[in-house]
Amino acid sequence: MLAVEDLLRDNAFVNGHWVSADSGDRFAVTNPADGAELTTVPDLGPKDVDSAINAAEAAFPAWSARTAAQRATLLRRWHDLVLANEEDLALLMTLEQGKPLKESRGEIRYAASFIAWFAEEAPRVYGDIIPPHMTDKRILALKQPVGVVAAITPWNFPAAMITRKVAPALAAGCTVIIKPSEFTPLTALALARLAEDAGFPAGVLNVITTADAAAAGEVILSSPAVRKVSFTGSTRVGKLLLRGAADTVKRVSLELGGNAPFIVFDDADLEAAVEGAVASKYRNAGQTCVCANRIYVHERVAEEFTVRLTGRTRTLQVGPGVDESSDIGPLINEAAVAKVERLVADARDRGATLRTGGSRHAMGRTYYEPTLLSGIEDGMDIFQEEIFGPVSAITTFRDEDEVIRRANDTRYGLAAYVYTRENARSWRVPEALEYGMVGVNTGMISTAVAPFGGVKESGIGREGSKYGMDEYLETKYVCLGGIE
């Protein structure tokens, strides 16, 4: 199946060894397209997780003592190996996650770009020499790695959410324990195999697979050795981790759920807005935290926009991710389909108009039709919750202040999108939106060079860019006295 069979790993990676669970327990990884079992991986228990933490702790002194250039060299090797194995990694990802191959390939390149970026940032971690407050003193601010980092990652981006955390952590001199989603451990293990090939020392990068995330989370949170938890996933679990981190006062980075508004003003380039909505809404079958969730269109252009987006929605090919022609693959599991069904039913019961789709897809039990609903009202569940499926939900607005107020009226604050051709508005509206990221006249904002993250209940911290490194660094103040 794979060009390099060795990339399909069925053991966890701890302290430089491919290990099974102490209990011998394993769990199945399945293909969301057809439910077929791909393989099984170890179901690590608390004792195994503890070993991984010990390995990372033991590896930390030597790893952090290396020069930044030495760490960068290994990161670059890892980056090159990831790109060289793009096709295999993409196939593994599509098999366990479901997204179309073309999107998986794009994600592998995106994932690699974080490794390249942070390899370059590693030697640029500068401290400061601060003018002292007394003549016999000198003041230094040193940047040092925080220590052992746990990266807990979701299934929707099985590679990029790992490299976005792990590359800056390793660049900074931290050692890591990666806990991938139980739905998508194979991409994580393949990345670890390539890191092993790149030559990272034992214990620097560990991957623990487990079907009991809560138990593993417990061990991670209660360990004083783990100094930082970086999490991407649901707001519910993010809050649990934030609470749990309190006892040992760990640092946390949280990238949580969103409820992205997508605002189309009447001066917008409508064709561009439709394409932006398609890109933002339907990528990964709607299963990203920055997907357009609430589409607000000015009432003067609402019908035209709705007709055009409906037309585009109908052109999307639904099918297994391994088919090159598929635009939309299966959702991650049946529970995800049931949630989308519930949101669509609630909207329709409360008066929304179905323009296209609206049902499970004939392809199989995990597929849902690309769907468009208009006439949505703010109180409907579909505007209150993250849809996480291929469903566009449209409402109308009359003026700028009104739409800003409605867009901000949520506990989330991750991504927002604005389409306008008016110069002043393209400054004013992003400034007024309470979001961590705003796309103006674009539906695609993710890149390794920009700071990704949310405000309010969408998270804490930023990933990617020069700011992404700060999450893995402490500032140590040294005061040199007696300098006569």
Residue 252 in the binding site for ligand ADP (CB under 6 A): no
Looking at the Cβ atoms of 381 and 400, the one nearer to ligand ADP is 381
How near is the Cβ of 237 to ligand ADP at its closest, in Å?
A: 3
Please, what is the angle between helix 423-432 and helix 400-408, to 10°? 30
How near is the Cβ of 43 to ligand ADP at its closest, in Å?
A: 12
Looking at the Cβ atoms of 95 and 245, the one nearer to ligand ADP is 245
Looking at the Cβ atoms of 184 and 396, the one nearer to ligand ADP is 184
Interior angle at CA 269, CA 443 and CA 340, nearest 5: 40
Separation CA 354–CA 348 (nearest Å): 7
How near is the Cβ of 60 to ligand ADP at its closest, in Å?
A: 22
Residue 457 in the binding site for ligand ADP (CB under 6 A): no
Rounded to 5 degrees, φ, ψ at 162 are -80, -50
Separation CA 340–CA 345 (nearest Å): 8
Site string for ligand ADP, 182-211 (x = CB under 6 A): x-----------------------------
State the number of CA atoms in the 13 A half-sphere of 102 facing the CB.
10
Residue 30 in the binding site for ligand ADP (CB under 6 A): no
Q: How many residues bind ligand ADP (CB under 6 A)?
A: 14
CA distances in angstroms from 161 to 344, 451, 452, listed in the order given: 29, 14, 11
Looking at the Cβ atoms of 1 and 214, the one nearer to ligand ADP is 214
How near is the Cβ of 150 to ligand ADP at its closest, in Å?
A: 9
Looking at the Cβ atoms of 121 and 457, the one nearer to ligand ADP is 457
Beta bridge partners of 263: 296, 418
* Tokens representing residue 32 in the block: 């969301």
In sign, the C-alpha dihedral spanning 69, 72, 74, 77 is negative
Active site residues: 255, 289
Residue 333 in the binding site for ligand ADP (CB under 6 A): no
How near is the Cβ of 148 to ligand ADP at its closest, in Å?
A: 16
DSSP state of 321: T
Element (H, E) at 186: helix 185-198
How near is the Cβ of 181 to ligand ADP at its closest, in Å?
A: 4
Residue 42 in the binding site for ligand ADP (CB under 6 A): no
Site string for ligand ADP, 217-246 (x = CB under 6 A): x---------------xx--x--x------
Pairing mode, strands 415-419 and 353-356: unpaired
* Tokens representing residue 22 in the block: 């102490």
Rounded to 5 degrees, φ, ψ at 471 are -65, -20
Site string for ligand ADP, 142-161 (x = CB under 6 A): ----------xxxx------
The footprint of ligand ADP (CB under 6 A) covers 152-155, 179, 181-182, 213-214, 217, 233-234, 237, 240
